Structure 1
């Protein structure tokens, strides 16, 4: 057999001629390297969805873990298909200033690699909502909202800023998506939570109860995965293997995230007398979101400053949303992606080394950045608000009280992520498999009644 294979290979080598091979040119080599870099970056961004799944499940209660996992894997799957069919065309098709009108189902599109990279971005925007609505939203309603986000709402924002739309013509700068991806997802999450309401036991009168997550180490693993994937998120946005640009982007990404960790840890120590682990983990994500808009436009020192400020405003943002606005976001996604997304976008107007106010460029760029942020908030609020209103009116978006108390794992999927030991029950004869609600309700009441001096959240 080996002799036959060897003979075939040898014969093929004699038959092969340069006539059948494409000529190798510097341009073709550069194209190959660029394409390979974009594909590697797309794979890194895809892997971020594992990070989101770990963070969201770790920082929520055990009885909802399977539901979190299902939402995340269905988001990337549905999002990719919807973005292929409709979203890409709206985002990058021929522009009329507000949305694209060609390229649906990639008709006439040659750069498939660019589509792949943008598709995983679209799913990232949608999955931000998953954590904010965790533990009480119907899976069907969430999936319908995901379809609308990836198929229309997010692509319109993307077209305005990255597809040649009206905001981009103003000179708006968002290199990798502090506004396009993160702010859009956060605003969608905020509006959805307003319609959805808080979890049972979160607010009792004027008191705010902390509902602890069940597995902080799992959430920490998710944060590290997200940080790792973010090097592709930002680095791949160069859209070319540029040896002068990519090292800068990777460096500013690293330094800003590090600044976010240090600032959130120290500030939580000052604010709460102890370094809060969940807030510190969120600090990394806040620093990453904050640098995403200007990662290619700021200095290394500027990146550290952006991260440090992001870490501080993250802590106050979580408290403001939770305590003052009384908006129940179990994983702090609105603060991480929304508050830090706004800061990161505006920070470009200050720290852009070419046109930023700190470098003598005046406040014109800062004004343009503010206009872009305001426009995206208005559009996303209106579009998501109308969508959720219709969904709520049509059949409701929230699970029943009994289902929420028992946990969405069993209510939505008929199973549990973990086996609860019967020794935790008052009667040793009871099994959790029958899910009559006793044990899980007691666990829920235990978590919701644990009051702490300060409300703690995470991504």
Structure 2
């Protein structure tokens, strides 16, 4: 066997393996969100996550991939690759697309209807996400922005769209008092939250590591993949530790949900630059990411922007921070990185707002008050996740 053929096979296997790790984040998001919402809405959240993966992946196969990478027609036509199978490259990119909408699903949970949300998912996977991806990853006018695995392309895109969705939907019933006080709505299942977050953490090694695309080209390529994965893990560790320290100082309690979100914040923050920093920089990048989550969650509540899972704090705030961190800790232009942030926000947020408003006007977006009180499981799915338990309907 020729050496070039062996490299082709190994790099193809590498892409397929890392894509499977990324797809492992689908149950990660599902478990995290199912644990953080109330028991009466768990089946609806799980159904939404499964359909998001199916619909966004299918739309990306039909035309989204071609939009993103300059193909023509449908079904991967006109997109060329070099050094690995074109099918493996598509599968890897397809694994990414659902994450841009999965980021949103927890933040709009407990009041959004499933079918209208799936309509938005089609718009996201078929237009919004591919257009931003084309600009940054597909050789477009933002190609100078360094964004290894999607601080801006995935996390900020999902975060801006989520912000628009929350503003259109409004807060959950009873979340905020007349005087602006925040009423706690406890999570239904902390073990599921922990499982989901740890699945996301593991999936991140494919998310970032696979974005090197090659592992068999030479020794340097293999070392780079190793460095990316180590840096990814380091940032997650730092985010968890700093979040734990801050919440303990504030409340003399160790809140596992905030610790896990701190870890996820650190993982998001390193996603843009894990390939261009050394071993110490991810400590600071992840630590700042974890701290940002702890401070952003109450800030959004103060603004009465109701995000049940803290997705805005994890993904939007740290998507922005991670993109900026590339310029601070590596040799990249701050102006260029900021341009990527601003242009992406200016494109995704208003269009998402208009799309959500259009969906709201044409087919409706939010569940009515009675069904929200009873729970979306009954209205949307006809199947309760925990039927043997008597649950509070508050």
CA contact (8 A) 1:103 1:109 kept: no
Structure 1: stretches of 5+ with no match in the other structure: 1-23, 95-101, 357-364, 425-439, 446-459
CA contact (8 A) 2:66 2:78 kept: no
Query: Is 1:444–2:393 an aligned residue pair?
Result: yes
Q: How does 1:377-416 map to 2 (within 5 A)?
A: 377-416=345-384
The structure with higher relative contact order (CA 8 Å, sep 6+) is 2
List per-residue Cα deviations over 1:130-158 (Å, max 9, x = no partner). Answer: 10110000111110011110011000010
Q: What displacement does 1:419 show?
A: 2.1
Q: What displacement does 1:272 show?
A: 2.4
Query: Is 1:129–2:104 an aligned residue pair?
Result: yes
CA contact (8 A) 1:223 1:285 kept: yes
CA RMSD in angstroms comes to 1.1
Q: How does 1:315-354 map to 2 (within 5 A)?
A: 315-323=294-302, 325-352=303-330
Find 1:374's aligned residue among 332, 336, 342. 342
Q: What displacement does 1:104 show?
A: 2.7
CA contact (8 A) 1:291 1:344 kept: yes
What secondary structure is seen at the aligned counterpart in 2 of 1:201?
coil
Find 2:387's aligned residue among 384, 408, 419. 419
CA contact (8 A) 2:235 2:267 kept: yes
Q: How does 1:2-13 map to 2 (within 5 A)?
A: none
Find 1:108's aligned residue among 78, 87, 92. 78
CA contact (8 A) 2:236 2:267 kept: yes
Whole-angstrom CA distance in 2 between matches of 1:273 and 1:322: 21
Find 1:233's aligned residue among 196, 207, 210. 207
Match for residue 187 of structure 2? 213
CA contact (8 A) 1:86 1:152 kept: no
CA contact (8 A) 1:53 1:69 kept: yes
What secondary structure is seen at the aligned counterpart in 2 of 1:346?
helix
Whole-angstrom CA distance in 2 between matches of 1:318 and 1:228: 24
4+ residue runs over 3 A deviation: none
What secondary structure is seen at the aligned counterpart in 2 of 1:136?
coil
CA contact (8 A) 1:92 1:103 kept: no
Q: How does 1:24-423 map to 2 (within 5 A)?
A: 24-93=1-70, 102=72, 104-109=74-79, 111-168=86-143, 171-205=144-178, 206-241=180-215, 242-323=221-302, 325-352=303-330, 355=331, 365-421=333-389
- Asked which structure has the greater CA Rg, the reply is 1
Match for residue 454 of structure 1? none
Q: What displacement does 1:103 show?
A: 5.3
CA contact (8 A) 2:70 2:79 kept: no
CA contact (8 A) 1:63 1:406 kept: yes
CA contact (8 A) 1:57 1:69 kept: yes
Match for residue 453 of structure 1? none
What TM-score, normalized to structure 1? 0.82
What TM-score, normalized to structure 2? 0.95
List per-residue Cα deviations over 1:337-394 (Å, max 9, x = no partner). Answer: 0001110110000011xx15xxxxxxxx111111100110111012211111110111
Whole-angstrom CA distance in 1 between matches of 2:25 and 2:381: 24
Structure 2: stretches of 5+ with no match in the other structure: 81-85, 216-220
Whole-angstrom CA distance in 2 between matches of 1:152 and 1:104: 14
